[in-house]
Amino acid sequence: MIKNYSISLVMPCKNEARALKSVLENLPKEVDEVIVVDNNSSDETKKVARSFGARTLSEARNDKFGVGYGFAIQKGVSETKGNIVIVMDGDGSYPVKEIPLLVRSLIHRNLDIISCNRLPFKRPQDMSSIRALGVNILNLTTWALFGYRIKDSLTGMWVFKKYAYNSLDFSEGGWNFSLEFKLKAITNPKLRFAERHISYQDRVLDLSKQKLFRTGFQHLIYLFMFKLNLLPKLTYKNVYAKISESKDEN
Ligand SMILES: Nc1nc2c(ncn2[C@@H]2O[C@H](COP(=O)(O)OP(=O)(O)O)[C@@H](O)[C@H]2O)c(=O)[nH]1
Ligand SMILES: [Mg+2]
């Protein structure tokens, strides 16, 4: 709890039992609720999460490449009770100890969404040069297409007010969710969005689930499709509304 705001942390996790332990061991006392959203993990991710008092949810949906990152986050956030939510990887790469500072910044600056910018890194080895190049290409493309000089288009850590998130509608279930979230925030004139620098370190345990070239290419196409308004309009809220409408009719 910080200044009457209750704080929820959501972590999408796929086989992160080892790293998750170190994240949960360092959890600040201000965090009121932790939700770990697992996706067909074959390790003890859920068991570790529960041993620290976290709530665990399962999200089995994947996109056509077998990635459920966006689905997992959407499921987790929809179940949160807090009015401020933090989303981050459960791999130990994001600074869990900086959560109180980030939340205070959100409140004091009267912002709706903070996207936690990883660049520049403390140590160059915290991101491979190919990944850093990819982030910079996507940052430049975002600037060129949307006029917003984003510093880190692919960070996986965000702090936001729940009502701001609820005012948006999402349709990406895979890695593109990270871009979709930021693009919908920066192009919405009603939302106060800012980036804030965090200390980030490359994961020390296990491997990233990314296929860098495929994901990078997917992101680039997504930016242009978003700009040209060519993305399908079928968002989850619409789909659910349609399902309940048809149930009402029966
Ligand atoms: N629930 C769920 N989590 C996933 C999935 N893919 C990746 N994650 C989690 O999402 C976060 C980001 O994945 P990661 O491999 O660290 O990607 P990177 O940070 O881009 O290298 C990590 O906490 C992963 O465990 C998935 O399909 N489902
Ligand atoms: Mg990660």
Q: What pLDDT score does 61 carry? A: 93
241 band by pLDDT with thresholds 50, 70 and 90: very low
Residue 2 within any structural domain of the chain: no
Q: What is the 3-state secondary structure (H, E, C) of 187-235?
A: CCCCCCEEEEECCCCCCCCCCCCCCHHHHHHHHHHHHHHHHCCCCCCCC
Distance 166 CA to ligand 2 centre (A): 25
Structural domain boundaries enclosing 84: 7-249
Tell me if 134 CB under 6 Å of ligand 1.
no
In the predicted model, is pLDDT for residue 119 greater than 90? yes
CA-CA distance, 185 to 177, in Å (whole number)? 12
The answer to whether the peptide bond before residue 120 is cis (omega within 30 degrees of 0) is yes
Residue 26 within any structural domain of the chain: yes
CA-CA distance, 244 to 81, in Å (whole number)? 23
CA-CA distance, 247 to 250, in Å (whole number)? 5
In the predicted model, is pLDDT for residue 240 greater than 70? no
Measure the CA dihedral 155/160/166/167, to 10°. Answer: -90
Q: What pLDDT score does 81 carry? A: 98
Residue 178 within any structural domain of the chain: yes
Higher-confidence residue of 206 and 111: namely: 111
Distance 51 CA to ligand 1 centre (A): 21
Per-residue pLDDT of 142-197, as tens digits, reads 999 999 999 999 999 999 999 999 999 999 999 999 999 999 999 999 999 999 99
Distance 132 CA to ligand 2 centre (A): 14
For range 30-55, the mean pLDDT: 96
CA-CA distance, 250 to 244, in Å (whole number)? 10
Tell me if 174 CB under 6 Å of ligand 1.
no
Q: What pLDDT score does 248 carry? A: 42
In the predicted model, is pLDDT for residue 35 greater than 60? yes
Q: What pLDDT score does 150 carry? A: 98
CA-CA distance, 108 to 235, in Å (whole number)? 33
For range 224-245, the mean pLDDT: 67
Per-residue pLDDT of 97-113, as tens digits, reads 999 999 999 999 999 99
- Domains: count for the chain: 1
CA atoms within 13 A on the CB side of 75: 23
In the predicted model, is pLDDT for residue 33 greater than 60? yes
- Predicted structure pTM score: 0.93
How deeply is 34 buried, as exposed, middle or buried, from its count of CB atoms within 10 A (0-12, 13-18, 19+)? Answer: buried
CA-CA distance, 86 to 80, in Å (whole number)? 10
Residue 243 within any structural domain of the chain: yes
- 3 state DSSP class of 25: helix
79 band by pLDDT with thresholds 50, 70 and 90: very high
How deeply is 74 buried, as exposed, middle or buried, from its count of CB atoms within 10 A (0-12, 13-18, 19+)? Answer: buried
Q: What pLDDT score does 234 carry? A: 56
Q: What pLDDT score does 235 carry? A: 57
Q: Whose CA is nearest to atom 11 of ligand 1?
A: 89
| Residues in the chain, overall count | 250
Residue 207 within any structural domain of the chain: yes
Per-residue pLDDT of 130-142, as tens digits, reads 999 999 999 999 9
Give residues with Cβ within 8 angstroms of 39, minimum separation 6.
Answer: 12, 13, 14, 58, 59, 60, 62, 68, 71, 72
Residue 1 within any structural domain of the chain: no
Continuous segment of H or E residues that includes residue 85: strand 84-87
Measure the CA dihedral 112/118/119/121, to 10°. Answer: 150
* CATH classification of the domain holding 39: 3.90.550.10
Which of ligand 1's atoms lies nearest the C-alpha of 62? 27
In the predicted model, is pLDDT for residue 11 greater than 60? yes
In the predicted model, is pLDDT for residue 56 greater than 60? yes
Whole-number mean pLDDT of the chain? Answer: 92
Residue 223 within any structural domain of the chain: yes
Distance 250 CA to ligand 2 centre (A): 44
- Ligand with the closest atom to the CA of 68: 1
**Angle at 216 (CA atoms; ends 148, 103), nearest 5 degrees:** 50
Tell me if 126 CB under 6 Å of ligand 1.
no
